[in-house]
Amino acid sequence: MSYQIKSRIWIESNDGVFLGEGRIRLLRAIAKEGSLNKAAKSLKMSYKKAWKLIDTINKAAPEPLVLTTSGGNGGGGSQITPYGHKMIVTFEQINQNCWKFLDQQLAKHKL
């Protein structure tokens, strides 16, 4: 029989969750779609929930991860900042390292 350790990680600030897998999925969707509304729809999430998550992330960060512009003649949009891209990569690296460590621990204990 083969075993696996499953784990989910998130990064918290004093105010609560800063980044986790769901928020990273939302950031990736915004990067792909160029729009918070389209990103929310692609994740089957309400616009209101997506907006609240991005607002929470931006307020907890030392600088914004997402910049948004309101609609109008040219339409609105959202874009991930360079800091936002850095946080996506950083979170993914931490996550991969965590899984690797857990796999090593499982192998070490020969379960």
The full set of domain ranges for the chain reads 11-108
Instruction: Examine the pLDDT at 34 and tell me if it is beyond 90.
Output: yes
Instruction: Examine the pLDDT at 13 and tell me if it is beyond 90.
Output: no
Give CA torsion, residues 82, 87, 89, 93, to 10 deg.
160
Calpha distance 13→101 (Å, rounded): 24
Residue 73 pLDDT level (bands cut at 50, 70, 90)? low
Residue 74 pLDDT level (bands cut at 50, 70, 90)? low
Q: For 11-108, CATH number?
A: 1.10.10.10
